[in-house]
Amino acid sequence: MSAYKIISIIIVLLIAHLQYRLWLGDGGIKQIEQYDQKLQDLSLQVKEKKERNDQLYSEVLDLRKGQDAIEERARYELGMIKENETFFQVLE
């Protein structure tokens, strides 16, 4: 075998090895795509949780402001009424 054939074979094997690592190896394109998908899923979860936290924070501020929010929750969630108040239930 001539030196050129040996060098050509070594270069082809080296390129094949590098291509394998690029596409399938640790830190390769396949793994990067998996990490990117996971990042997108986590970003969506963070967005949903932030929206929920904002709603809860708004509710806490309402409850701290005064009796109106507390009274509203007592009426709708617990079915409470004030003294000397008449409750009417409409059935459809």
Task: Sketch the domain layout of the chain as residue ranges.
Answer: 3-78
Q: Which pLDDT belongs to residue 57?
A: 92
pLDDT band at 53 (very low <50, low <70, confident <90, very high): very high
- The conformation of residue 28, written as its DSSP 8-state character, comes to S
Verdict on whether the full-model pTM lies above 0.85: no
**Whether residue 4 has pLDDT greater than 80:** yes
**Whether residue 26 has pLDDT greater than 90:** no
Q: Taking residues 7-23, what's their average pLDDT? A: 88
Q: Which residue's entry shows tokens 């009796």?
A: 67
What percent of the chain lies above the pLDDT cut of 90? 35
**CA 13/CA 7 separation, integer angstroms:** 10
